[in-house]
């Protein structure tokens, strides 16, 4: 169980960990992200959903400071990411299947290098704790490039938790995994993020995964947020039986849900 009620209650009373306001990103005259606004609270997992090209990865890259917004504001625990990037990103981390760790370094070497980059205090103890939490102790001296997909995902998530992030960005974290391994990884993420009251922004095309882990979802299409709500009730509110049916309709007929 993901404990939706607990997450939502804490999100309601605590200041937002992530606040996005009027965010826009243009490539020439084309808007990849067009005036989106949302928040993610402490101990809340928000799904950022939409078809390919909807603007999800562009949004995440702006939150990470990799891309500069054309306009709009991004604040992490109240700190503006444009005005004070280093401070804003100090308690942020990221994991995605397309961003593997250096393959020629062992699991332990990777965690050591990134712990130095993040300035982790008590790094030796922190690394040992994460090796234990992600079942990596027996793989500590294996090069990352020789790990299986599931093992690589666990190592990437261990890296993402090194600095005890307040905001964790996950872009298709289980996309390459078999169902059993993906379920195991989701359970580990839920356990660690709930324990540390982390705010999570999670993108995926797996609607079963969304229903299992997300407290709230945002549907993007053509750079705009079309729908927002509880994944358990949102489909029926729009005349659909399942989240997957709603996803398909948003992808194929976005004007159906156009906001004024």
pLDDT one-digit tens code per residue, 50-106:
998 899 999 999 999 999 999 999 999 999 998 898 888 888 999 988 889 999 999
In the chain the first and final C-alpha atoms are separated, in Å, by 36
User: Is 194 contained in some domain?
Assistant: yes
Looking up residue 73, the CATH number of its domain turns out to be 3.40.50.300
Q: Are residues 16 and 143 in the same domain?
A: no
Q: Are residues 150 and 188 in the same domain?
A: no
User: Is 226 contained in some domain?
Assistant: no
Rounded to whole angstroms, how far apart are CA atoms 235 and 145?
A: 41
Percent of the chain past pLDDT 70, that is, above it, reads 92
Q: Is the Cα dihedral 225, 226, 228, 232 positive or negative?
A: negative
DSSP 193-250: HHHTT-EEEEE-S-HHHHHHH-SEEEEEETTEEEEEE-TTTHHHHTT-SSHHHHHHHH
User: Is 116 contained in some domain?
Assistant: yes
Q: Are residues 184 and 260 in the same domain?
A: yes
Rounded to whole angstroms, how far apart are CA atoms 257 and 260?
A: 10
**Nearest CA among 225, 224, 226, 228 for reference residue 214:** 228
Q: Is the Cα dihedral 10, 13, 14, 18 positive or negative?
A: positive
Q: Are residues 183 and 214 in the same domain?
A: yes
Average pLDDT over residues 171-197: 86
Percent of the chain past pLDDT 90, that is, above it, reads 67
Q: Are residues 99 and 126 in the same domain?
A: yes
Rounded to whole angstroms, how far apart are CA atoms 230 and 210?
A: 10
- Domain range for 112 is 92-164
Rounded to whole angstroms, how far apart are CA atoms 156 and 171?
A: 12
Q: Are residues 19 and 148 in the same domain?
A: no
User: Is 32 contained in some domain?
Assistant: yes
Q: Are residues 33 and 145 in the same domain?
A: no
User: Is 133 contained in some domain?
Assistant: yes
pLDDT band at 255 (very low <50, low <70, confident <90, very high): low
Q: Where is 80: in which H helix or E strand?
A: strand 79-80
Domain boundary residue among 137, 164, 191?
A: 164
Q: Are residues 31 and 97 in the same domain?
A: no
User: Is 84 contained in some domain?
Assistant: no
Return mean pLDDT, the chain: 89
Q: Are residues 17 and 58 in the same domain?
A: yes
User: Is 60 contained in some domain?
Assistant: yes
Q: Are residues 204 and 158 in the same domain?
A: no
Q: Are residues 99 and 149 in the same domain?
A: yes
**Nearest CA among 5, 45, 11 for reference residue 170:** 45
User: Is 86 contained in some domain?
Assistant: no
Q: Are residues 101 and 157 in the same domain?
A: yes
Task: Give the highest mean pLDDT range of 112-116, 149-153, 191-195, 219-223.
Answer: 112-116
Q: What's the number of domains the chain is made of?
A: 2
Rounded to whole angstroms, how far apart are CA atoms 128 and 22?
A: 41
Predicted local confidence at residue 216, as pLDDT: 95
Q: Which residues, including other chains, have CB under 8 Å from residue 186's CB and lie 6 or more apart?
A: 174, 209, 212, 213
């Amino acid at each position: 169980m993901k404990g939706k009620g607990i997450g939502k209650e804490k999100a309601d009373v605590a200041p937002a960990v992530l606040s996005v306001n009027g965010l826009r990103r243009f490539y020439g005259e084309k808007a990849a992200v067009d005036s989106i606004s949302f928040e993610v609270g402490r101990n809340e997992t928000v799904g950022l959903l939409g078809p390919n090209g909807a603007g999800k990865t562009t949004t995440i890259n702006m939150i990470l400071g990799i891309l500069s917004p054309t306009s709009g504001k991004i604040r992490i625990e109240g700190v503006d990411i444009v005005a004070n990037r280093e401070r804003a990103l100090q308690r942020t981390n990221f994991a995605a299947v397309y961003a593997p760790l250096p393959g020629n370094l062992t699991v332990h070497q990777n965690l050591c290098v990134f712990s130095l980059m993040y300035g982790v205090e008590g790094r030796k103890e922190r690394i040992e704790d994460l090796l234990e939490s992600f079942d990596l102790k027996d793989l500590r001296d294996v090069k990352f490039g020789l790990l299986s997909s599931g093992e690589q995902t666990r190592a990437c998530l261990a890296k993402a938790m090194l600095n005890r992030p307040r905001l964790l960005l996950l872009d298709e974290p289980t996309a390459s995994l078999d169902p059993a391994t993906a379920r195991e990884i989701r359970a580990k993420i839920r356990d660690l993020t709930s324990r540390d009251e982390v705010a999570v922004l999670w993108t995926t095309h797996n609607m079963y995964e969304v229903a299992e882990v997300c407290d709230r979802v945002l549907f993007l299409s053509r750079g705009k947020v079309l729908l927002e709500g509880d994944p358990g009730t949102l489909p029926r509110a729009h005349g659909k039986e399942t989240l997957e049916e709603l996803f398909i309709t948003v992808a194929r007929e976005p004007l159906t849900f156009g906001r004024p």
